[in-house]
Amino acid sequence: MNIETKQQHVEATMRLAPVIPVVIIDDARHAVPMARALVAGGIPAIEVTLRTPAALDAIRAIAAEVEGAVVGVGTVLTAKDLHAAEQAGARFAVSPGVSPNLLAAADNSALPLLPGVATASEAMNMLERGYRHLKFFPAVPAGGTKLLGAWASPLPQIRFCPTGGISVATAKDFLGLPNVLCVGGSWLTPGDKLKAGDWAGIEQLAREAAALRG
């Protein structure tokens, strides 16, 4: 699969819903009911971050058992991360930044990558490599809507998924920018609701997120 085909897959994933939940999961047993609640609420693309030992098992379970879910992997730092996520059934990968080794691994992997950038120079470097869809991270600390909006004119080819510090209250500000397709947010799957098994609560948060582009 060449870079352009993989970019088309990334774009399709970014257009599934206004928000991609960024999930930190401690118990893989929560993965399937959580993902079903998100899908029921209108949020099919789910990024499970590699920040806990349960992450790969969670991805594997969602990929195997949750109809309608497009499960991806986040916090991808190395070639090993990328390979393990692909083996677990991830459909896309997200990284907080980029490195030469990670980009080389992505070139040799069938797993589409959404790489993170925080500066115009980084965005230009990624554009040179064929990446037209990027994660803007950390969105709020790096400059928020003002910086991202300022890139729209000089970098019109690029579409972003800003992530980092975004809440349900500020998501619409980002989604209103012409170069933003979706946002990433951790507010859809808060730790207290995961721990309590409050799947109805997560489904409600998903519904609210899905309505942000309405």
Is the bond leading into 138 cis (omega within 30 degrees of zero)? yes
pTM over 0.85: yes
pLDDT digits (tens, 9 = 90+) for 145-187: 999 999 999 999 999 999 999 999 999 999 999 999 999 999 9
Look at the chain and report how many structural domains it folds into: 1
> Of 113, 114, 211, nearest to 171 (Cα)?
211
CATH number at residue 121: 3.20.20.70
Active site amino acids? 47, 135
pLDDT digits (tens, 9 = 90+) for 105-133: 999 999 999 999 999 999 999 999 999 99
Q: In what order do the strands lie in the sheet with 116-117?
A: 116-117, 133-136, 159-162
| Residue 174 and residue 145 in contact, taking contact as beta carbons nearer than 8 Å | yes
The boundaries of the domain holding residue 133 are 3-213
Residue with tokens 């990027």: 134
CA atoms within 13 A of residue 7's CA, in its CB half-sphere: 15
| Phi (first) and psi of residue 56, to 5 degrees | -65, -40
